[in-house]
Chain A
Amino acid sequence: MSIIKEYIKISLKKTFTYKINKYLIFFEVFFDFLGLLLFWATLYHMDAVIANWTRVELVCLVGFNTLNNSVGSLLIAFRDIDYKITDGAFDSYFMKPQHPLFTMIFERANFFIVILFFVLGLIVICASAIYMNANILQIFLAVFMSFVATMSINILYAIISLFSFKFGRTTYIRDTIFVAKGLSNYPMDLFPQLVYKFCTYIIPLAFISTFPVKILSDANNMKTMLEYSLINVLLMLAFMAIFVLIWKKMIKLYESTGVSR
């Protein structure tokens, strides 16, 4: 735990080396959040009919996506794995007494951004939850569901990145697949049933924001939502198992001065 504390301290020190940075980062996070809100405000301005979704629910959806950005910022190191492997910089992570991936994640994360996204997301979620008369159990379950789904998606992202040990750069193919991640910004039940079911039972994008909002807005469907939570957790465990298997296989291919066999 103390090592994590040190990483956080170093990251914050780096961020605040130039005083202006903290304001700029604040603006960046704020505009990122504003962009999502503005999208829905524009659609309302255009008289779009967003069936079964109230304005508060849409704001709450934005809150969950902001929380998702927080986890994404924490795990941003997964984006750089292929660069580190192909140029041999991955070597440096074997010199330290922690797991290479642990070091990579905590060295790369900007904790100021992570905290800002987290606090902003949580404030929006809690404010919307109060407006929707949700209780503390609903809030907890919704945030937990969103967090687990976000982890699953990031693990899936990392799984594809691990193939860099074998194929070198995977950036293009990975980023193409993850264009579909944009789906989580929208209420998933607006899409055709096939897409909706795929994003529930195969790739848990619907659990990032759509289902959590439904948990907060309707206390009567808690039993169904608990069942969905179980599916969500099982999917994450499955992704984690695949990740560990592939990591063990791929790390054997690493040849220090760059990939690959």
Chain B
Amino acid sequence: MIKLSLLKIKEAQTFKLDFFVSLISIFIKTIIIYFLFDVLFSDSNAVNSVSLTRYTLVASTISMSYDPMMYVCYELMGKINSSEIIPYILKPVNYIVYNYFEKVGIFLLRFAINITLVIIINALFFDYFSISRLIIGVYVTVMGATILFFLQFLIGTYIPHVKDVLILRDVIITILFTFGGLIIPVEYLPFNLDIITKCTMIPYIYSFPANVISGNPLRAMDFAMQFAWVILLGVLTYKSYQKNVSHNVEYGD
């Protein structure tokens, strides 16, 4: 499986432009957010605009690195509807595990490149760098990517019944983007939405990993909750895959 990840990394190297472009995107986003937060919180004692910008920078980086996970459902739909899934089902390795290692290799490569740039920006402009936070950050970001992978795969397992699940996937992704803390940490959400959101898997994909890497306060409970969501979604995905896909190979068009 690790060899599969390495193979995918080698393939991904042909898309060097992709990495270069993601770096420019991060740079543009950071400048926009910095200007905005600097004006909005210049007189605030409660909120530090620099640490908020640092958070947004890290959250954007994580979001860009998650790109391979965003196509899991779409690719699964293509494979199931065209029956391409059948050879994968017959392989001795479970397709969920196979697909996960395919995606995680490219994700790690992207994350490594993007996060290196973030570390440089942090060290140069925000005067912040913590190696311990970075190590923990890599762990929680991989866990966040795993939650996103399972979520996408779980939606994809219903394709044999409905053929097209992309609209459902888009709704869930929109909810993730709305409440997931892509620009501002979930902790700042108004109307007690922060408490409600923390009972779901939403903050453990973007907000929690971004909080860890950008140096915001940590809670042990968040680590436990993230781990619990990985296990729960993993079990649900496996059960749903066995029931809806593995035993429904004849559904291919």
Bind each other: yes
How many interface residues does chain A have, given as a range?
35 or more
A44 in contact (CB, < 8 A): yes
CA distance A195 to B179 in the complex (A): 29
Structural contact, B174 and A32, CB atoms closer than 8 A: yes
**Interface status of A202 (Cβ within 8 A of chain B):** no
The interface residues of chain A lying within 8 Å CB-to-CB of B191 are 41
Which residues in A have their C-beta under 8 angstroms from that of B40? 43, 48-50, 190
Is B190 located at the chain interface by the 8 A CB criterion?
yes
Question: Which of B28, B46, B184 makes the CB contact (< 8 A) with A179?
Answer: B28
Interface residue total, chain B, C-beta cutoff 8 A: 36
B171 CB within 8 Å of chain A: yes
CA–CA, A45 to B189, complex, Å? 8
Interface residue from A39, A41, A48 paired with B44 (Cβ < 8 Å): A48
A13 to chain B, nearest CB (A): 14
Contact A195 B35 (CB under 8 A): yes
Contact with A28, one of B18, B28, B167 (Cβ below 8 angstroms): B167
Which A residues touch B154, using CB under 8 A?
none
Contact of B21 among A20, A175, A180, A192 (CB under 8 A): A175
Q: Are A176 and B21 in contact (CB under 8 A)?
A: yes
Q: Is the CB of B167 within 8 A of A46?
A: no
Docked CA distance A51–B18 (Å): 38
A100 at the interface (CB under 8 A from B): no
- Chain B hits for A195, CB < 8 A: 35
CB proximity of B249 to chain A, nearest CB, Å: 23
Interface set, chain A 82-124, CB cutoff 8 A to B: none
- Do residues B35 and A48 form an inter-chain contact, with CB atoms below 8 A? no
Tell me the smallest distance from the CB of B66 to a CB of chain A, in Å. 16
Interface residues of A in 11-65 (CB under 8 A from B): 18, 20-21, 24-25, 27-28, 31-32, 34-35, 38-39, 41-51
Q: Decide yes or no whether A7 CB sits under 8 A from chain B.
A: no
The answer to whether B190 and A44 have CB atoms under 8 Å apart is yes
The closest CB in chain B to the CB of A35 belongs to B178
**Contact residues, B22-73 vs A (CB, 8 A):** 24-25, 28-29, 32, 35-36, 39-44, 46-47
CA distance A191 to B168 in the complex (A): 37
Q: Which residues of B contact A39 (CB under 8 A)?
A: 183-184
Other-chain residue from A27, A49, A191, A192 in contact with B171 (beta carbon distance below 8 A): A27
Within 8 A of A (CB), among B168-204: 168, 170-171, 174-175, 177-179, 183-184, 188-191, 193
Residue from A21, A45, A50, A180 within 8 A of B167 (CB atoms): A21
Within 8 A of B (CB), among A165-187: 172-173, 175-176, 179-180, 182-183, 186
> 23 A-B contacts, Cβ less than 8 Å apart?
A18-B164, A24-B171, A27-B171, A28-B171, A35-B178, A43-B40, A43-B184, A46-B184, A48-B41, A49-B40, A49-B41, A49-B42, A176-B24, A176-B25, A176-B28, A179-B25, A186-B32, A186-B36, A190-B40, A191-B35, A191-B36, A191-B39, A192-B35
Closest 3 CB pairs of A and B: A45-B190, A35-B178, A48-B40
